[in-house]
Structure 1
């Protein structure tokens, strides 16, 4: 009977010599989970570059990237919840914490990081909240009054204090965001039975890919959001984000390249099957999509002179595709090698569901998970001015962009 099949048997195809209890246990949800947490970390780091390091050209996108990080954070654990067969057991990590467990430590870091992001958002938007609480009436007025938390002081001294607190929260949030996603790489790197994951570079590889995906996600979402609202897009901010993307993109390429070179140089007993996996079975996904389309091509486009907004948008989109492919190659590729080193496991995602398990592992929940942060961002924008910022348009000009020169002059 189908209901008695082992978890993973529905979507695992075996080839060659494999063990009876071998299946693809970590599926598409475990691909999406580090992808979303990476976007969280990258977006927060981008916001902190203005608040901590004083990069004024990032001021127009600082509030947006902070709220975007929070929207992503709210959905970060959802893939894990959908993947678990006993969802309600996860509460035990809070009720009975085990401080030697990396997963339990993640729960503490996740909740701490959420508190930091929430506090920073409140201090950043506090003047606006107080203003709206005084002006709005009815339910909306009650909402803004509740959001003030009883603090209506917007004097110069109070705002200076807020600015200092924001800077402290942003500074503390950077290592918290790094640990939030570096932990994911730590989990993978500590699995000794999977040769592809067993490397001390894994936390740093995940962290660099997190930052480039987060920055790219902010570029794409900011351009689309501002264009839909017919707002002026600050070219200086886009250029600055692209510079950040270039530096971390180079770091990601170097780290991932060193990892492959190290495996090839040491040539342990598993290298023959790993090389077949990487350069034959996963060749198109890894070499073409992940490396060529997702990293090398965007780097070239960003380094070419006279960067346009359209070119920045395309480059950022390609990076997002490349990072998602990297997550797929690591999570699914690592499990595709049999422990026997003489066979392969192929993940066949159930497109057409025929029971609840196959439905949860299908494309519909995954699509909803990826869209929900954008829906939350849209809702937050109804309450807080996420896509509105005051800046000097003369300092934000762009050589060319998604809007025409006539539209730029009008906005």
Structure 2
């Protein structure tokens, strides 16, 4: 397609090519899944929500699997990925981007330590009941410490809770920081808003819980085990609550822009009515928020019909993860489609086979699921997920939703 057909209005000559591709869309999306999954696990480890226990350890493994891949979109985007480590050793301290390496490293340590403490009893038992290379592997994972007395396990639980408490603000910083990077770019009217870090954080929690729901249902179906509907409904309940907060912040941002009607409102209107109209109104707001909101509301009102409610929760979760990806797309790509002249727009045309194309993005997004399969074989979380939990009586009024 000719470049002239991708441009509307007046743009600067050096803006013909959009620099931040689908990989940069994927970066905040993956970090959001990490933060959301970790916060979901903290509902049990910190706030003592017993109904979340079946997926608490599984959520930690999910967070780790995606966390290990969180830097890959950025490194692939770089012309020289090997230089990425330089940001750790020669940081520009006044740059927001320089803080990512330290936040990421600290958060990774917290997640790994909490996983180790949560699984230490299982690791030690496996080491004591194994032979050969398997015994050596699990002994190494246990750090050759085999004390699983009641006192030792109690200390592990206390320390794991402290790490989870530390991990909550760390997760918030990890993803709120991404929103801060965009919100701090004053020259771009679509990005420059103090609500951006909060919007990124809320949508991260929403996407993480939705992903956890899908993974929990899929894993139970693949293992042919019964789903704990009390746990599933509780996750759906928290998804519904955070979905309300998410849409409130997103709409508040748009309403404030419209109400203020600054000099850049015309280009914002052009962006919303043309460039990202489908992905914003159709995918992000309707598919990703409105439909899941209605479905989850119906789940809370309905009596019995657990299979139907599970399907509705699954569909809602699928729509949510798609909608949050659309939100990341609208922020990253939509912001770049506004010319710095504020009098024109550009069009991003994704390429499939390219270093920054769709294919590498698909591969990177698939890697965490492969890692999750591996880590669940090494550290099986199924004991918690397959425990028999008595089902609670369903509530039928909106006042007592879920």
Q: Secondary structure at the match of 1:103?
A: helix
Q: Is the 8 A contact 1:63 1:124 kept in 2?
A: yes
Deviation at 1:397, TM superposition (A): 9.1
**Normalising by structure 1, what TM-score?**
0.90
Q: Secondary structure at the match of 1:192?
A: coil
**Normalising by structure 2, what TM-score?**
0.92
Work out whether 1:183 is the aligned partner of 2:184.
no
Which position in structure 1 is the counterpart of 2:249? Answer: 255
Q: Is the 8 A contact 2:275 2:347 kept in 1?
A: no
Q: Is the 8 A contact 2:21 2:357 kept in 1?
A: no
- Bigger Cα displacement from structure 2, 15-24 vs 163-172: 15-24
5 Å-filtered alignment, 1:132-147, equals 132-147=126-141
Cα RMSD for the two superposed structures: 1.8
Deviation at 1:361, TM superposition (A): 1.7
Deviation at 1:100, TM superposition (A): 2.5
Deviation at 1:285, TM superposition (A): 1.1
Which position in structure 1 is the counterpart of 2:336? Answer: 335
Q: Is the 8 A contact 1:120 1:166 kept in 2?
A: yes
Q: Is the 8 A contact 1:235 1:398 kept in 2?
A: no
CA distance in 2, matches of 1:230, 1:385: 16
Q: Is the 8 A contact 1:189 1:202 kept in 2?
A: yes
- Bigger Cα displacement from structure 2, 82-91 vs 155-164: 82-91
Q: Is the 8 A contact 2:23 2:357 kept in 1?
A: no
Which residue, out of 68, 71, 76, partners 1:77? Answer: 71
Deviation at 1:396, TM superposition (A): 7.2
Q: Deviations over 1:129-173 (max 9, x none)?
A: 000001111211111011010211000000110010010000000
CA distance in 1, matches of 2:358, 2:331: 19
Q: Deviations over 1:334-380 (max 9, x none)?
A: 111111222211000112x3xxxxx1122211111111111100011
Which residue, out of 385, 388, 394, partners 2:390? Answer: 394
Q: Deviations over 1:298-346 (max 9, x none)?
A: 0110011227111111001100010000000111001111112222110
Which position in structure 1 is the counterpart of 2:152? Answer: 158
CA distance in 2, matches of 1:233, 1:168: 30
Which position in structure 2 is the counterpart of 1:20? Answer: 13
Unaligned runs of 5+ in 1: 1-8, 354-358, 400-411
The aligned length equals: 385
Unaligned runs of 5+ in 2: 396-402
5 Å-filtered alignment, 1:4-153, equals 13-22=6-15, 23-153=17-147
Q: Secondary structure at the match of 2:18?
A: coil
Which position in structure 2 is the counterpart of 1:243? Answer: 237
Aligned CA distance change for structure 1 residues 131 and 397 (closer, same or farther; 3 Å): farther
Which position in structure 2 is the counterpart of 1:406? Answer: none
CA distance in 2, matches of 1:31, 1:202: 15
CA distance in 2, matches of 1:342, 1:96: 38
